[in-house]
Structure 1
């Protein structure tokens, strides 16, 4: 029995790449339990997947559409040639970080739920913290928060009373439940973000705080200045507690949550920076002559290997792995 008769190649690809949801993982495991042939099929698919990420010699002229086609053809060709063999699964480093942090996350969520569901003293607070992982959390008021890695969200002891106040260190995307009687307030490294109900991203790993709004209206303030941001607007703090509105909203900054990257004649140095933050991977360029190569492409919930393979095919580059680092190298695009 082949995998295609009962499970999609897309789901198997994301399972091998380590980007499946818990429900999808359960679906694959149930499929594996149906027959020993399925384990062999999955092992063969993993060999095909790994083989497909090995980029060959540069072509003379390749665009993004041709690069996608070439990567897909390699997967199909290898699928017909590789003999079935049971191999251990090797998931991406992004998934490995999530597994490594699972115990911490489970314990943290259990404690957080207990603190928010039972009476607490005014002096006490509730904390959600991430390390080498991301985490989505629903607050008691119905607000959804998606924390990036190395971030901490602290809720005030009187949360859900007159105001809904939290403190953020790191980065998080907020989808705030609207409540006109209780404003939602985020304190982040000397700044304040105040809303009634909207969606936005706050990046506050240091004193350079950035706010990007995807819906509704946000009030962003420092001790010296206050600005109002609406949908598709962004701003950041600068010297002397001032706020500067940015020329355009960069949705790639939120790819750690969406796993969607959109590049429009973007310098390769900026592409690599976006991928590094979005995939939490150490990606570098082999030389400075590659920095100004331009890329126009869209990647939506693709694995890191697939994304890098398409970029390499498009710009005639090689993907070189050195330990935990990934290098994009080649002769350049001049």
Structure 2
């Protein structure tokens, strides 16, 4: 359920079909009802603020995007639609004002006072939480954790990738919230990657419970789940097939009969480059262990192992079969 439809519902401008969709969503889960009531309260309180506030909207908007990274795309979508759509301009522009005025207040009251934010920016960061849980944050990752963490072991993963080694505490389950996806553990180790289009969870030890709306699964060592942001399908677990997700923690790229395209995707992510394998070599499988520190040497090793050639074309690095 997106916030734009909920705001349209609060404005009483939804169709009968949309009304039913919102009501069904609220009734489906207690957390949905709780979220809607909170949104409704903020909406009502912000109605007065919207007409009185002299806040610098551009400055507030920038602060809001910085503190609540997971809302960026929704807000940008609201602004874009408000500009392009005359028919929906009224409620979309009100929605944008609501997020600017009330959103900043909500973020600072909830995250500013109750949560501590951690951001890795351009470096891999090691972090120990107050309960003893150990985290490794990949580059460009942002999360927040509850200030009363020993009693309320809750983490909000806003964006990026984290390896969690969770301290055992049966009385206080460890939870990670990502919009409609919730992860709960007691004491275990696992990796979570959150991109704009999907969430990936891979378990190394223990049991991890993953819930999205009314769908819930349990993952054990060696299992993974991929959750698409635009799909409401049931959660499906699969065997994890490689160790490449670990590269930022181990500083090694470990490929064991791994398709070339998979290794290339990880190298592109790790180095911020654009390696492009030709269609007829993408599926070639490779056994190798590559150190993190030298991209060119790693590419040469890949080419030697698979009998490929490498060419540079502007910003791209092309991998293809050697010409006879």
TM-score class, shorter = 0.5 to 0.7
Structure 1 distance, partners of 2:129, 2:323, is 48
Query: Does 1:166 pair with 2:158?
Result: no
Structure 1 residues 194 and 295 mapped into 2: Cα distance closer, same or farther (>3 Å)?
same
Matched residues in 2 for 1:230 and 1:164: separation? 21
Pairwise mapping of residues 98-247 of structure 1 onto structure 2 (< 5 A)?
A: 123-161=113-151, 163-169=152-158, 170-206=160-196, 208-238=198-228, 239-240=231-232, 242-247=234-239
**Separation of aligned partners in 1, 2:211 and 2:197:** 13
Partner of 1:276: 268
- How far has the Cα of 1:301 moved from its partner? 5.0
Corresponding position: 1:263 with 2:252: no
Match in the other structure for 1:327:
317
Cα displacement string for residues 95-137 of structure 1 (whole angstroms, at most 9, x for unaligned residues): xxxxxxxxxxxxxxxxxxxxxxxxx999332101123332111
Structure 2 distance, partners of 1:186, 1:246, is 21
Deviation at 1:212, TM superposition (A): 0.6
1:308 equivalent to 2:299? Answer yes
Q: 8 Å contact 1:126–1:154 — kept in the other structure? A: yes
Alpha-carbon shift at residue 293 of structure 1 (Å): 3.1
Q: Find the aligned partners of 1:293 and 1:207 in 2 and give their Cα distance.
A: 27
User: Which residue pairs with 2:284 in the alignment?
Assistant: 293
> For the residues of structure 2 that align with 1:289 and 1:221, how far apart are their CA atoms?
39
Give the TM-score taking structure 1 as reference length: 0.57
Deviation at residue 314 of structure 1 after TM alignment: 2.0
Q: Is the 8 A contact 1:224 1:241 kept in 2?
A: no
SS at match of 2:113: coil
Alpha-carbon RMSD: 2.7
Q: Distance in 2 between matches of 1:286 and 1:212?
A: 26
Deviation at 1:171, TM superposition (A): 1.3
Residue 49 of structure 1 corresponds to none
For residue 290 of structure 1, give the secondary structure of its aligned residue in structure 2: coil
Query: Do the aligned residues in 2 keep the contact of 1:191 with 1:220 (CA within 8 Å)?
Result: yes
Structure 1 residues 149 and 290: alpha-carbon distance in aligned structure 2, compared to 1, 3 A threshold: same
Local SS of the residue matching 1:312: helix
Shift, 1:326, TM fit: 5.5
- Equivalent residue of 1:137, what SS? strand
Cα offset, 1:300, TM superposition: 4.9
After superposition, the C-alpha distances for 1:39-70 in whole angstroms (9 at most, x for unaligned) are: xxxxxxxxxxxxxxxxxxxxxxxxxxxxxxxx
CA distance 1:311–1:264, shift in 2 (3 Å):
same
TM-score with structure 2 length normalisation?
0.58
Which structure has more RCO (C-alpha within 8 Å, separation ≥ 6)? Answer: 1
Q: CA deviation at 1:286?
A: 5.7
CA–CA distance in 2 between the matches of 1:219 and 1:313? 42
Once the 2 structures are TM-superposed, how far is the Cα of residue 176 of structure 1 from its aligned partner? 0.8
Shift of 1:322: 5.9
CA shift in 2, pair 1:207/1:182, >3 Å: farther
Unaligned runs of 5+ in 2: 1-109
Partner SS state of residue 209, structure 1: strand
Q: Which runs of 5+ in 1 are unaligned?
A: 1-119
Which whole-Å CA distance do the structure 2 matches of 1:245 and 1:312 have between them? 33
